[in-house]
Amino acid sequence: MAKVAKKDLEPLLSKAGLELSEPLLGDFSTLISSLEESIEALPNDKVALPLPDLDKYPRTDIQVPCAEDNPLGAWATKVNYPDQDLVTAQCTSPSSDLLKGRTVALKDNMAFAGVRCTNGTAMIDWVPDIDATIATRIMDAGATINSCMQALSGTSITGPVHNPYARGYSAGGSSSGSGCAVATGAADLAIGCDQGGSIRIPASSCGVVGLKPTWGLVPYTGILSLAATLDHAGPMARGVRDCALLLEAIAGADGWDDRQPAVGLEGERVRFVGRVDEVQRREKGDMLRDVRIGVLSEGFAVPGQDDNVVAKVREAVEEFAALGAVVRPVSVPLHAAALGAWLCALPLAGGRECLLGDLGGRKQLHIADRAELVGSRLTQAQFDALSPGGANMYVGYLWVQEKYGTKLHGRCMNILKSISDAYDAALKEVDVLVMPTLPFPPPRLAENGYAEGPLKFTKRATGLIANTCPFNNSGHPAISLPVGFVPAREDPSVKLPVGMQIVGRKFADIDCLKVAAAWEKAYNWKTF
């Protein structure tokens, strides 16, 4: 290639506020020319990508469903024949039958080669060449992948996702399609992704079980990031055992994802189903013998919390004593500061990693072809295609980057470490913490989508993630278990599901599953 001339460098340096002498300009033009030669000589990075063997993992009949086939708005894209018996997104020679006969839905931010991946927005048009690691693991376990799911309940590219128990009400976000499909039986199981509550929010809203695993237990490879320090992917199911089953299929290191520890994710660390079965075989009063359950005081004191939610979850918590557990109150005062720290830390990382696809500094699979479609900043058309939450994050990113740089993000990360340490300290005294998953029942969907504007739209969910996002910050495992119904705030005659959140020690996801499994075995949440 031609040498980079001094005149090519001068505008760049001027924009950066630098002025170089002629000798220095000459030296740097030579050095940057050498850099350009190295860039041109790079080999094709696709050689390193986990491209799927489409003979072993075939998928056909990729389609965007029509309204008649998508009554609640749960599906973004399907990969099955109209005849449901002819689904083909599966492995021709699975390595196990752990998920044999099950259908699993993927959230629409997960790469599945040949299937559009919208991330819930029309910002760009991207069809991946790769499969996310957990998609491959699901097929290797004998399951069928029959869809890709949409994202935010009120803001997705294909329209709102309705609550399966009350049309016109939110199914929760952002894994709303996953929760809705599982609740209605359209899929046996689903994968959600959770950075502030996006597995647990739709699980609570739709009356299903959803587990945000310990940060790093499940590889995030091939999934679009919000912020790597917050990213979690995990199972959603109608029951705890199925949740454990899917977690067992997808957990463990994959050699790509730097969110995961280099060693230790094998053996009993990633075995869950047998221990859930063992708990559910016990007599009722013996299921949770010697288990210490801490009732997190601050989790029941979220500003704006619905009294019916508090009462219903407290009623559910009281039953743990009948299962043999020791139940006592626990206080973590820093819990109340976690939401603010999450909100202040998100713009810089989210703008770079989620919206611009800039994963600089991360040792993981980089989805470079999608990042190239976005560019170094959003165009007007791309910005206009964002949901209110996405648009708010991008404007916040521009503001924080300009006014604070990296200092604000660094300050927040230090604060979040102290909050994580406070949970660790509490979990030395008890085995799990319990609290409401959400502070209030699912709100009514906006009648005109997000045309009402980002401020009014966002106010509908003020405080929603107060009990969920703290554990994205900290990385502790957290499961939402349905424990009954409460009246909608807008119309008391409408009854909507409510979830109880159970939080465990890091990499002790099995404790969350066992406590949830015992309560589920003893009580019918739909009549509780």
Dist CA 446 CA 461 (whole Å): 12
Residue 1, domain member (yes or no): no
State pLDDT tens for residues 250-280: 999 999 999 999 888 999 889 999 999 999 9
Statement to judge: residues 69 and 16 lie in one domain: no
- DSSP string across 135-193: HHHHHHTT-EEEEEE---TTT-TT-PPEETTEEEEE--SSSHHHHHHHHHTSSSEEEEE
Statement to judge: residues 369 and 300 lie in one domain: yes
Q: Which domain holds residue 24?
A: 6-42
The encoded tokens of residue 60 equal 């056909």
Measured in residues, the chain has a length of 528
> Which amino acid type is present at position 164?
P
Dist CA 253 CA 262 (whole Å): 8
Residues 6+ positions from 31 with CB-CB distance below 8 Å: none
Dist CA 47 CA 193 (whole Å): 27
Residue 313, domain member (yes or no): yes
Dist CA 134 CA 40 (whole Å): 33
- Among 29, 78, 107, 312, the active-site one is 107
State pLDDT tens for residues 453-487: 777 777 777 789 999 999 999 999 999 999 999 99
Output DSSP code: residue 329.
Answer: E
Statement to judge: residues 467 and 336 lie in one domain: yes
Dist CA 389 CA 441 (whole Å): 20
Residue 55, domain member (yes or no): no
Region 434-438: mean pLDDT is 98
| Contacts by residues 314-318 (CB-CB < 8 Å, ≥ 24 positions apart) | 315/483, 315/484, 315/528, 316/483, 316/484, 316/500, 316/519, 316/523, 316/528, 317/293, 317/434, 317/500
Dist CA 159 CA 15 (whole Å): 42
Residue 478, domain member (yes or no): yes
Statement to judge: residues 235 and 102 lie in one domain: yes
Instruction: Report which of residues 459 and 423 the model is more confident about.
Output: 423
Statement to judge: residues 168 and 33 lie in one domain: no
- Among 198, 205, 225, 420, the active-site one is 198
Statement to judge: residues 35 and 122 lie in one domain: no
The encoded tokens of residue 128 equal 């991946």
Statement to judge: residues 34 and 156 lie in one domain: no
Q: Answer whether 120's CB lies under 8 Å from 152's CB.
A: yes
Residue 51, domain member (yes or no): no
Is the pLDDT score of 148 beyond 60? no
- Lowest-pLDDT range, 39-48, 192-201, 483-492? 39-48
CATH of the domain at 104: 3.90.1300.10
Residue 527, domain member (yes or no): no
Count how many domains the chain has.
2
Residue 396, domain member (yes or no): yes
Statement to judge: residues 35 and 67 lie in one domain: no
Q: Is 29 a catalytic residue?
A: no
**Residue 315, pLDDT score:** 98
Statement to judge: residues 38 and 80 lie in one domain: no
Q: Answer whether 466's CB lies under 8 Å from 340's CB.
A: no
- Lowest-pLDDT range, 52-56, 118-122, 347-351, 385-389? 118-122
Residue 254, domain member (yes or no): yes
**Residue 176, pLDDT score:** 85
Statement to judge: residues 222 and 126 lie in one domain: yes
Statement to judge: residues 147 and 100 lie in one domain: yes
Instruction: Report which of residues 124 and 356 the model is more confident about.
Output: 356
State pLDDT tens for residues 361-403: 899 999 999 898 888 899 999 998 888 888 889 999 999 999 9
Q: Which residue in 430, 439, 441, 519 sits closest to 483, CA to CA?
A: 519
Report residue 50's pLDDT band, with 50, 70 and 90 as the boundaries. Answer: confident
Q: Which residue in 176, 206, 209, 207 sits closest to 108, CA to CA?
A: 176
Report residue 64's pLDDT band, with 50, 70 and 90 as the boundaries. Answer: low
**Residue 169, pLDDT score:** 94
Is the pLDDT score of 152 beyond 90? no
Q: Answer whether 519's CB lies under 8 Å from 320's CB.
A: yes
**Residue 84, pLDDT score:** 44
State pLDDT tens for residues 302-311: 999 999 999 9
**Residue 2, pLDDT score:** 61
- Among 147, 153, 156, 174, the active-site one is 174
Model pTM score: 0.91
State pLDDT tens for residues 68-89: 665 665 555 556 534 444 445 8
Report residue 62's pLDDT band, with 50, 70 and 90 as the boundaries. Answer: low
Statement to judge: residues 154 and 255 lie in one domain: yes
